[in-house]
Amino acid sequence: EVQLVESGGGLVQPGGSLRLSCVASGFTFSQYEVNWVRQAPGKGLEWLSYISTGGTTIHYADSVKGRFTISRDSAKNSLLYLQMNSLRAEDTAVYYCARDRPYMDVWGKGTTVTVSS
Amino acid sequence: DIQMTQSPSSVSASVGDRVTITCRASQDIGSWLAWYQQKPGKAPKLLIDAGSSLQSGVPSRFSGSGSGTDFTLTISSLQPEDFATYYCQQANSFPLTFGGGTKLEIK
């Protein structure tokens, strides 16, 4: 079964850091580009970041540029990461990884990040 | 950045109704548009890509049309499982952007 599974979410204080992971199975992850997308409580979808197959092309939304870093593990070809620093209350959301084809055809179930003191 | 504007933001309809949701891009995106369905507590599901290409397994009552700046998602005969929130998304250029969503509710 083709799937993505996110992990690493949790409660963090403002200004703190968190690293999210996304593990792929059922397909050759290294052959696909991937995105991170989030959804704040009761709000719509917000694209955050994109990484190409080889990791050489990366894009970020302005809202996270300079604070978040996307990466993929070249040794473990099925892993994607999102390093989140300087977290703010407005970063509270469900975070999804999504395969890019270039449309987002496979999504994980999401991991919840809560930024609160 | 390309802004995506969906309308209406919510709509009430009955089973069997025909419903149309529109999405307008702030600049020409060709056919680089996708439609997603999201149910409460679930991840979005890709319904249509490239403006009008139905994904495998998606019922044929769903259809998409449009190009350039104006797009529509039509559900020809609403079924109970179609009540959800729908989003459009442009894939023409970064940053990728989503419409604000259309919540389809039961009348």
Please give the interface size between A and B, counted as residue pairs whose CB atoms are below 8 Å apart. Answer: 53
Instruction: Give the C-alpha distances (Å, rounded to integers) separating A88 from A65, A100, B54.
Output: 13, 27, 38
Compare all CA atoms of chain B with the CA of A45 and give the residue at the minimum distance.
B98
Which residues 4-33 on chain B approach chain A with CB closer than 8 angstroms? 32
**Contact B55/A44, CB-based, under 8 Å?**
no
Closest CA–CA distance from residue A16 to any residue of chain B (Å): 25
Per-residue pLDDT of chain B (107 residues; tens, 9 = 90+): 999 999 999 999 999 999 999 999 999 999 999 999 999 999 999 999 999 999 999 999 999 999 999 999 999 999 999 999 999 999 999 999 999 999 999 88
Q: What is the 3-state secondary structure (H, E, C) of A58-81?
A: EEECCCCCCCEEEEECCCCCCEEE
Cα separation of B64 and B34, whole Å? 9
- For A56-113, the pLDDT digits (tens) are 999 999 999 999 999 998 677 689 999 999 999 999 999 999 999 899 999 999 999 9
Closest CA–CA distance from residue A35 to any residue of chain B (Å): 10
Residue linked to tokens 């079964």: A1
In A, which residues are within 8 Å of B46 by CB distance?
103-105
- For A19-54, the pLDDT digits (tens) are 999 999 999 999 999 999 999 999 999 999 999 998
Residue A44 half-sphere exposure toward CB, CA atoms < 13 A? 20
In B, which residues are within 8 Å of A58 by CB distance?
none
In B, which residues are within 8 Å of A101 by CB distance?
49
